[in-house]
């Protein structure tokens, strides 16, 4: 990643050129690049990616000749219109996004990069706590980007950006389920209300502040009573009786992983049932081994 200060319309703008190693259909080469540009209007929302990258860089003391944000923004682009920021050699092989590790408390690892399988459940948890109806993943960002940019840039550049070899890949796997054709307006020779249709298709339009974002105690108890977890308890007692501490630790780790997964799956099922009951659909998932006890909805409060 290269960070630079670029002169643009009388102002200095910070940019980041990122080179990707593992992009779809570009696995064997590192020539796929994208550029991020500082966007001041996004500061108040915490959405400017440049500001987030700079925050991580300053936390790592990663720049060779810049110590503080004030020093950075005091710099000016050269006569050529661009000033490249140099990284310290000590951070060149260090991942920018890193995992939290446990030891004496918790700390950010100096060398372990943040993996997808670690980040994924945290992203899902944020969406649940924000009380959105739909599930969300990093793949949702890819799908959203594909739909937002489709038709706004040339087809060849769209395929390059997405790493698609054939145009049909987008049509088969990425195109949004919601139709963005305003038939009412078209039938009356009126302009389509596309902005309104896009607003209705956003996940934010299906957010419900009264939706559950955690399991009630009764539902948690049902997870603890599951037969599979009881088998782990039996295996743990057997390992402890045999004084096989290595086997006991392995059982504990596996049980902890399974418990988190069971609770996450249970919450997903509980939330699905809640939204279905709210919308007057099925009140129970047929393949669920237990009856989900969904509290009644206060529709007046929701309105």
Q: What is the 3-state secondary structure (H, E, C) of 117-158?
A: HHHHHHHHHHHHHCCECCCCCHHHHHHHHHHHHECCECHHHH
State the pLDDT at residue 87. 93
- Number of Cβ within 10 Å of residue 296's Cβ equals 7
What whole-number percentage of the chain has pLDDT above 70? 86
CB 185 within 8 A of CB 193: yes
pLDDT per residue as tens digits for the range 91-147 = 988 888 998 887 767 788 888 898 888 888 888 888 888 888 887 888 888 888 888
Confidence check: pLDDT of 301 > 60: no
pLDDT, tens digit, for every residue of 181-200? 888 888 889 988 888 887 77
pLDDT of residue 193: 86
Mean pLDDT of 232-251: 83
User: Does residue 266 carry a pLDDT above 80?
Assistant: yes
Count how many Cα atoms sit within 13 Å of the Cα of residue 118 in the half-sphere of its side chain.
Answer: 9
Mean pLDDT of 1-29: 79
Q: Where are the beta strands (DSSP E) in the chain?
A: 2-8, 11-20, 32-37, 82-85, 98-103, 105-113
Q: Name the pTM for this structure.
A: 0.68
Q: pLDDT tens digits, residue range 220-235?
A: 888 888 887 788 888 8
Distances, alpha carbon 146 to alpha carbons 19, 49, 192, 198, in Å: 20, 19, 21, 14
């Amino acid at each position: 990643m290269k960070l630079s200060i670029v002169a643009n319309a009388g102002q200095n703008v910070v940019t980041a050129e990122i080179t990707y190693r593992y992009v779809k259909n570009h696995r064997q080469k590192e020539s796929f690049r994208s550029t991020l540009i500082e966007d001041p209007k996004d500061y108040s929302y915490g959405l400017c990616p440049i500001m987030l990258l700079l925050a991580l860089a300053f936390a790592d003391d990663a720049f060779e000749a810049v110590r503080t944000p004030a020093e950075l923004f005091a710099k000016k682009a050269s006569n050529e219109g661009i000033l490249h920021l140099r990284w310290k050699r000590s951070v060149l092989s260090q991942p920018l996004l890193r995992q939290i590790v446990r030891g004496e408390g918790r700390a950010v690892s100096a060398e372990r990069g943040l993996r997808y399988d670690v980040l994924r459940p945290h992203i899902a948890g944020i969406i649940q706590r924000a009380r959105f109806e739909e599930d969300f993943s990093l793949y949702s960002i890819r799908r959203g980007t594909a739909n937002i940019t489709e038709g706004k840039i040339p087809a060849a550049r769209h395929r390059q950006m997405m790493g698609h070899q054939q145009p049909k890949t987008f049509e088969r796997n990425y195109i949004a389920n919601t139709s963005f054709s305003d038939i009412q307006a078209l039938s009356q020779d009126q302009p389509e209300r596309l902005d309104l249709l896009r607003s209705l298709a956003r996940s934010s339009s299906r957010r419900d502040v009264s939706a559950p974002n955690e399991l009630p105690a009764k539902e948690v108890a049902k997870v603890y009573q599951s037969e599979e977890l009881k088998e782990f308890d039996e295996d743990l007692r057997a390992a402890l009786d045999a004084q096989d501490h290595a086997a006991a630790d392995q059982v504990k780790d596996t049980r902890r992983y399974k418990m988190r997964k069971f609770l996450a799956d249970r919450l997903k099922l509980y939330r699905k049932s809640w939204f279905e009951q709210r919308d007057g659909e099925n009140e129970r998932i047929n393949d669920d081994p237990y009856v989900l006890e969904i509290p009644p909805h206060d529709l007046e409060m929701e309105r």
